[in-house]
A and B are shown apart, each in its own frame.
Chain A
Amino acid sequence: MLSEFSLIALFIVIVLGFAASLVLIPVALRKLGIVPSQPSAVKSEPYECGLETTGPTWVQFKIRYYFYALLLISLDITVVFLYPWAVEMQNLGPAGLVTVFVFLAILAVGYLYAWRKGALEWK
């Protein structure tokens, strides 16, 4: 039965190979001397339209993004659970529909809570 997923396995191998080659091909070309490589101090500095950077460039991460990440997890996982239900919607019948709506209602409560508490405001 595992052989049904052979194509998926091949897909995974190709994807990993592609990602690795994107990183390794430039390194290999540089080692072979085909592409020029002349690192310098100025070249490695952060780009700021030709100016020297004033002060540190690594600024503190905004905490606001944490809330968006939390909301993303909850709503994204909702979508993940909706897909299999959508595939088997006919077979699951009305019981399935009610179950899914209860599930959506629970998630909607969480979303409404975040909305009313102002987690969606950008400050």
Chain B
Amino acid sequence: MEIGSGMNSRDLDLHEGHVIEDLRNSAVAGLPEPSGWLTEEIERNIITTTVDKFLNWGRKTSLWTETSFTACCTFEFISTSSSRFDIARFGMEVLRSSPRHADLMITAGTLTWKMAPQIKRVYEQMAEPKWVIAMGACGISGGIFADSYSVVPGYNRILPVDVYIPGCPPRPEALLAGIELLRKKIEKRSIAKGS
């Protein structure tokens, strides 16, 4: 349903309600981790391997995070990005609000069903290659709010997640360990798969 300029406030509310109900009804199971390419045997030659190494090095050392932070885990991310835990040594000090510029979405915070269509849309508007880190208990499974009437039980209901970092909130060291796991995962990409 398109939003036209003639819609009044009540119509906008109804439209929003439909979007949320549709999303909630369709998000019944967790989406699988995007790693099908890891198990396939791929043909690689010396050129592809060199290009792979270069591209993967470039991508993993300059992950730009999309600022779509919803709740408390944001503060642990803020701690990680300040001088003591220094995320800048991984090239990640850049935070972009526009999804066109970003390639990593760190889900720092609880997601409610009301916010879910927005986060999903922001994820879909990010350009490939893109990755998602589910940070904290609320990102993995809804955390202590898992049974709530308004909380999405884990971001993997609506987005495919690459790395899960447990904690409530995870300490900056834990977040950095999760980022390191993601970097190892990025190293395994190959252009021979067309990814």
Query: Which A positions have Cβ atoms within 8 angstroms of B?
Result: 33-38, 40, 42-43, 45, 47, 49-56
Task: Say whether, besides A50-B117, A54-B3, A56-B5, A45 and B191 are in contact (CB < 8 Å).
Answer: no
B98's nearest neighbour on chain A, judged by CB, is: A47
Least Cβ distance of A36 to chain B in Å?
A: 4
Q: Which stretch of B124-132, B162-170, B174-182 is in the interface?
A: B124-132
Contacts of A50 in B (CB 8 A): 68, 117-122
A contact face: mostly helix, strand, loop, or mixed: loop
In the bound complex, what is the Cα–Cα distance between A6 and B153 (angstroms)? 67
Chain A residue nearest in CB terms to B124: A42
Closest A residue to B12 by beta carbon equals A54
- 5 new A-B contacts at CB < 8 Å, known A33-B194, A35-B128, A36-B128: A33-B191, A42-B125, A43-B124, A50-B118, A55-B4
Residue of chain A at shortest CB distance from B118: A50
The docked-state distance in angstroms from the alpha carbon of A56 to that of B51 is 43
Question: Which residue of the partner chain B has the closest CB to A37?
Answer: B128
Cβ-closest 6 pairs across A and B? A50-B118, A55-B5, A36-B128, A42-B124, A50-B122, A50-B121
- Nearest residue in A to B128 (C-beta to C-beta)? A36
Return chain A residues, CB-CB under 8 Å to B7: 54
Are the CB atoms of A43 and B127 closer together than 8 Å?
Answer: yes
**Can you list 27 A-B pairs with a CB-CB distance of less than 8 A?**
A33-B191, A34-B51, A34-B191, A36-B128, A36-B194, A36-B195, A37-B128, A42-B121, A42-B124, A42-B125, A43-B124, A43-B127, A45-B125, A47-B98, A47-B99, A47-B100, A50-B68, A50-B119, A50-B120, A50-B122, A51-B118, A52-B2, A52-B3, A52-B121, A53-B3, A54-B5, A54-B7
Contact indicator A34/B55 (Cβ below 8 Å)? yes
Give complex CA distance A50, B116 in Å.
9
Bound-complex Cα distance A122 to B139 (A): 46
